[in-house]
Structure 1
Amino acid sequence: MGQGQALRTRQQNAVAAGVATKAIFAERAANAELWDVEGRRFIDFAAGIAVNNTGHRHPHVMRAVAEQALQFTHTCFHVAPYESYIRLAERLNAIVDTGEENRTMLVTTGAEAVENAIKIARAYTKRSAVIAFTGAFHGRTMMGMALTGKVAPYKKGFGPFPAEIFHVPFPAAFSGVDVAASLRALDHLLASDVDPDRVAAFIVEPIQGEGGFNAAPSALLQGLRERADRYGIVLIADEIQAGMARTGMMLAIEHSGVKPDLVTLAKGLAGGFPLSALVGKATIMNAALPGGLGGTYAGNPISVAAANAVLDVIETERLCARATWIGERVGALLNDLAARQGLERLGDVRVNGAMIGFELVEATPSRDAAPQLTSQIVAEAERRGLIVLSCGVRYNVIRLLPPLTIEESVLDEALQILEASIEAAFATVPAAHPAKA
C-alpha cells in the first residue's frame, strides 16, 4: 500500500465524511508547484482556492512570518493590540474605494467577514432583511449558508436557516438570464415579498466563485447601487475569491466603476495564512458598539504579517498586470479549443484576469450541462500533473486559478497539460445528444 492510499484509509477512519477532499496528500510546495507524499509533482491551478495568489511560500511572505514569530504569535488584539494590525487596516482603507473615509476590522475566515458585514449592516440600518443572488456562495456558517444560492452540497440537510434572506436570479448570459431580468426580479421582490424599508443589505459577488465564475455585468452593479441609494440599503461586495489582484484589479468591482459600501476580503489576503477583513465606510462600520465585533484569533499577528507582505508583493511584482497577462494567455488557448471542430461542447469561456472558467455542455441548442465531461477533464488533468477544480450550480464549469507569480515556463507546461486533458476527456466521454449535421 502506497503512502497516499494509507493516508486515505486513515482519513476515512479519522475525519468526518462531510469534509470532502481530493486524493492528493501534499508534502511540499513552491510557488505554482506541489509535490505529494509519493513524490508526484503537480502544477497547482487551484492555489488553495484563490488563496495563494502570491504562490506557495513566497520568500517575502515567509520572511515576514518568521520575523513575527520571533516577536509574538498571539496576544488577542482585544487584550494587547499591535501596530501591524493598525498598519494593515490603514492600507486596506486606502485600497478600497467607497467614496468616503473607511474603517477596517480583521477576522479569520471569509464566512466571518460575511457574518460581520451583515451584523454591521443591520446595526447601521436598524433593519433585518438581506437580499442575495442565486448561485452565490458566502460561507458555511448558518448565515453564510442562508445567503448562499446553491443547495447541494452546502445547504442540504442543515436547515432551518436564518429568516428574512431572499434571493434573486444572478445574470448569466450563456444561461439566458440577462441584467434586465435580474433587476425586474429584484423590483418584483421589493414590491411583493419584502418592504425595501426592511432591507438592510444587498450582498453580491462581483464575480461568482462557486456559482461558475460568472461576472456581474456593470449594469447589474449600477442597478444595485441606484436602488441601495434610493432605499437606504447597504451594498456589500463579497470579494473573498475575486479580490487581491486576481482579476487584474485589486478588487473585481473596480472594473464596473461602482463604489460599494462594505467589502469582504479573505483567501488571497494573507498568502496562505488564515485572515479575513471587512472594509467599508466609517459611517457604517462604526455603527456597532465597542465589544460587539472581533474574536479571540481575529487579526492573528502571524497572519497580519503575511498580509502586509502580500500587499508589498502585489505592488512590487505588479501582480494586477500579471493577472491580466495570465488571463490573456489562458483565454487564448481556451478560445482556440472552443473553436475547434469536435470540441463544441466547450461552450463558454470566461476570462476575468487570472480568474478563468469554462463551461461544458452537451452539443444541443438547449446547452444541457455536461457534468460527466467536466469531471473527466478534472481527472485527466490530475493524472497528467495539473490540479484544477470544478464549480457551478450545474457542476459543469472548470475554474482555473493559477498563482499570479507562476513562472512563464510552468504556465506553458500547464497549458499543454490542460489542452491534452481536454482532448482526452472529449474522446473518452461521448456527447449525450450528438449535434445533428
Structure 2
Amino acid sequence: MQKILCFTALFASLVLTFLNTQSEAAIGANEIIRFSWRANTEPVTGYKLYYAEGAVTGPPFNGKNALQGNSPINVGNVTQTSLSGLDVHQNYSFALTAFNECSESAFTDVIIVYSVTISIHGNGTVGTYTSFWTENHGNETIHFFPSDGHFVSNVVVNGTSFGSTESITLNDVTEKKVIDVYFSPEKTVERDTSFPLWSGSFNENADVQGSIFIASDGVYVSQTTDTYTTNISKVSDGFCPKSGWNANYHLIQFIDVDNDGWLDIAGFGYNGLVVAYGIDGTNYHTAVNVISGNFGYNNGWRIDHHIREISDIDGDGVNDVWGFGYNGLVVAYGIDGTNYHKPKLALNSFGYNDGWEITDYRRFLDVDNDGYLDISGWKDGVNYVSLFNSANETYDNIVEWW
C-alpha cells in the first residue's frame, strides 16, 4: 500500500485564464473562467478551488452561485477546471489548495478577477470583449456599432465621459469597470447663422472634441468639429429664437464660466447674464439667471455699442463679468464661479458716451508690470491707459500712455 504523505505547503502556482467573447446582450450565466495549475510535487487526493465575491486577499472564501457549486469546490485530481454562472457585475477572488487523506495545504496566492460590464442605451451593439480581467491582462479595445441612422453619442466609464467615440481601450484593469454606451438617432438641424458657432475641445484636457451651435429651437452639440448638422444632440432649450433670444439684441458666448474645465453656455439676455453650466461636453445643466438687473438689453446694453466679457480681471482665479457700457467699465466680481457681487461702475472712462465705439480696442493688460491688470485702449492712434491702484483696489484716471 502506498504511504500517504502529510504536508502543509503547496508547491504549485495557480494560473488563471478566461474566455469571454460575447457582447453585453448575450452575457449571462454562461460566462466561463478557466483555471490551470501545476501538479503538486507530493501525492494528492485532489484540489479544492475557493472563491469569494469581491476583491479579498484571504479567507473566508464563501462564494456562492457558481454552477459547479459553492466554495470550496472539489475539482478532483486534475490540473485544470472552469467555473460558470458567476455574476459578471461583480469582482471575484480565487485560491487553490491541495489535499489528501491526511491534511489540506495552505492557500495559493489569491488571484483577483475584475468585472467589466457594458450597458447599451439606444440602438446599437457592442463587439466582443472580456468581462472578467486579471491585473496583467494587458490592453483590449472594445468597439461599438450604432444601428443604421444612429451614432455613438457618449461613452461613460465609471462616471467619466469619453464623448462620442466608437471604441475605447482598457489597459490592465484593476477595478470593476461599468461602461455605459449611448446610441442616439442622427438628426439634421438647420443652424441659425446669426448666432455664434463654436468648434474645438469641450474640456481643458482637449480629449472631448466637437461643435456647439444654436438652431431655432435650442442649442445643439455635434460630436465632430467638421459638421454642424449631423450626429448631434440637443443640450438646451434656451438661448434660441423659440425661447425669445435674438442675435440683434443678445450676446451669447461659449466659455468655461466656472473654471471647472468644461465649456459652458453664457448669454447676455434681456435682463442680465444667463448660464447653462456644462457637465461633460454632451450634457448641460438647465440655464439659470446668474446676474439680473445689469448687462442685459433691458438694462441699456447694446450689441453694437458695448463690449461684454467673462474673464478674471482681478487675479483671484475666479472669472468676473465686465463690460464697457455707456459710462465706462462695469464689473461684477466673481465670488466662486457661480455667484457674483453686485455689478458696479468701476471706472468712469472708456465708455460709449466718451466716444469709444465697439470696434475701439480695450483690453486688460499689466501695462506697468506690477502684477495687476490695467486697462489699455487704442483710439485714433493714441494709447490710453488706466492703471490699477492696488492700494485701494480702484482704477486711476485715464491718461495718454504713448
TM-score, structure 1 length as denominator? 0.20
Higher fraction of helix: 1
Higher RCO by CA contacts (8 Å cutoff, separation 6 or greater):
1
TM-score, structure 2 length as denominator? 0.21
